[in-house]
Amino acid sequence: MNLNDGDLMGGIYHPHETVLLKCIYRLKEQKGSAALDVKTLSKESGLNEDSVRKAALWLSNKGLVKVIVEEEKTDSLTNEGIKYSKTGLPESELYRLIAIKGPAEIRNLKGREIAIMWAKKKGWIKISNGVVELLSHPKDPYEDKHLLNDVVAGSKIPKEKLEEFKNRNLVLEKSVKKESVAITGKGSSEAELFLKAGFGPDAEIGKLTPETIKSGQWKKGLRSYDVTLSAGRLIAGKKHITTIWADKIRKIFLDMGFREASGPLVESSFWCFDALYQPQDHPSRELADTFYMKKPARSELPNAPLVNAVKTAHEKGVDGSTGWMYKWSGDIAKKPVLRTHTTAVSARSLQGLTAPAKIFCIGRAFRNETVDYKHLPEFTQVEGIVADENVTFRDLLGYLKEFYSRLGFDKIRFRPAYFPYTEMSVEPEVYFEEKKEWVELGGAGILRPEVTNPLGVDVPVLAWGLSLERPIALMTGLNDIRNFYFKNDLKLLRDTKVNV
């Protein structure tokens, strides 16, 4: 029987197709299996898993098999989750410490800020006059440790606990694709014909070599190829979503006449806070919001006249203002931090600036945030400043409207706001059609004289900033910004369409 004459249903076959079809038929006859997973077929047929998938796809196009793809979601512990599954969560250890040794002064609990926050949230402790003491006694303070081990064992745990663990980056949800192949009635008939014909992978020549030509083996028949069969998806390399949008925003700024600036990720408190007129006792400087560096232990301050000008602005104010009326500390200003915003770059850019000038920055910023669908400890921030003696608040709104319009938002409005280093201040909002709601995307305002005067700038300065990830999520339909960095979902990154 000549298999290329069309006696068989499919007409043209790759050797891997015949091997796989006969394998599925044999296993069905022996075990009665309705569907077989790719791993089993790879083991039984001798083909690697990729070859099994390709052959199954070709056979499915001929109606001989059905390819079944199912997604199973599994939960696994992160490295931090594994750690706490052995030792217990920070709040459990804090509870044990206080239960054994009694109330503790909060200043003696440095490094346990996360534990204090969660213990207080769970109602285990109270803080009074700087002293942490027990408020209640949980039935099992190490319950969460046991639940983490239940996750490892694959046991179900309460939904609210699972969500808490995910938000705390202790548990990571993964989607596992399960592929199986089932033979059809036509496939069974075709497999029987294969077996009767004795057709196998060596029945035809699929590749001409000097040996097959010299030996005359090619005369037995050359395998035909069906060029109409669908091939596997070609996954080409492409830029990350955030990189694509950063490039778009960079082009918008450049087209609007701005120049780009950059600055260090590890910044001094002076440039990150003090130069922006944030008081040294401001809550944003606490460990709950800011990552302080152990190395280097200290940062260098700029020249003495500039430092003294910033100190005076804090203590006494400028142009008739009162300042914050406290004793400013150079030691606090020297503390190095992971910059909490790229506004630190704007502050550096203003030093000795000659107006008129328009500057922008796109860079990473870091905050001690609890990880959830809309918060990350690391994110990309976009800054813009305009320094000109003739600019007004109306110009600021005009720049913002033009920027967001070019970004792709049609409906834009502004809401009054407060920031320590701007006056007047505003929060731009855009209308998100899909959810039928207004979404705040950043903050903006005119920098206060307490910021600009010490830096040697005597003209109005417009300033604004926004998070890059939030507008990207809106524009691409993603509802969880953890997809950008933490989940590393290649399928999502490959499939997300970016029209810029």
Coil vs helix vs strand at 367: coil
Domain boundary among 155, 174, 193: 174
- The reply to whether 98 falls in a domain is yes
CB count in 10 Å sphere of residue 328? 20
Residue 236 lies in a domain: no
Asked if residues 209 and 24 have their Cβ atoms less than 8 Å apart, the reply is no
Per-residue pLDDT, 434: 73
Residue 223, pLDDT score: 61
Same domain, 427 and 311: yes
Residue 68 lies in a domain: yes
- pLDDT the model gives residue 75: 87
Residue 234 domain-assigned (yes or no):
no
Same domain flag for 352 and 468 = yes
Of 159, 187, 220, which residue is a domain's last?
A: 220
> Same domain for 250 and 393?
yes
The answer to whether residue 232 is domain-embedded is: no
- CA–CA separation, 44 vs 196, rounded Å? 21
Question: Cβ(235)–Cβ(62) under 8 Å?
Answer: no
**One domain, residues 444 and 461:** yes
- Identify the pLDDT of residue 230: 64
Rounded CA-CA distance 263/461 in Å is 19
115: in domain: yes
Q: Are residues 19 and 140 in the same domain?
A: no
| Structure-block tokens of residue 402 | 């033009």
User: Would you say the C-alpha torsion 147, 148, 151, 153 has a positive or negative sign?
Assistant: negative
Please tell me whether residues 19 and 126 are part of one structural domain: no
Q: Within this chain, do residues 344 and 437 fall inside the same structural domain, yes or no?
A: yes
129 and 207 both lie in a single domain = no
Q: What is the dihedral of CA 246, 251, 256, 259, to 10 degrees?
A: 80
CA 371, 377, 382, 387 torsion-angle sign: positive
Do residues 254 and 322 both lie within one domain? yes
Complete DSSP assignment for 105-121: EGGGGTT-HHHHHHHHH
Q: Which domain holds residue 180?
A: 3-72+176-220
- Structural domains in the chain (count): 3
Residues 6+ apart with CB under 8 A from 74: 173, 174, 175, 176
Q: Does residue 274 sit in the same domain as residue 201?
A: no
Q: Are residues 67 and 167 in the same domain?
A: no
CATH number for the domain that contains residue 353: 3.30.930.10
Asked if the bond preceding 325 is cis, omega within 30° of 0, the reply is no
Both 261 and 359 in one domain: the answer is: yes
d(C-alpha 181, C-alpha 191), whole Å: 15
Last residue of a domain, one of 174, 202, 231: 174
List per-residue pLDDT tens for the chain, 500 residues long.
334 433 444 456 778 888 888 888 888 888 776 788 888 888 988 899 899 988 888 888 888 888 888 887 888 899 999 999 999 999 999 999 999 999 999 888 988 989 999 999 999 999 988 899 999 999 999 999 999 999 988 888 999 999 999 989 999 888 778 888 888 888 788 877 777 665 544 455 666 778 878 888 777 666 666 666 666 677 777 788 888 889 999 999 999 999 999 999 999 999 999 999 999 988 878 877 899 999 999 999 999 999 999 999 999 999 889 999 999 999 999 999 999 999 999 999 999 889 899 999 999 999 888 777 767 788 899 999 999 999 999 999 999 999 989 988 889 999 999 888 899 999 999 887 777 888 888 899 999 999 999 999 999 999 998 888 877 877 777 777 777 777 667 777 777 776 65
Residue 72 pLDDT: 79
Is 438 among the domain residues? yes
Residue 500 inside a domain? The answer is no
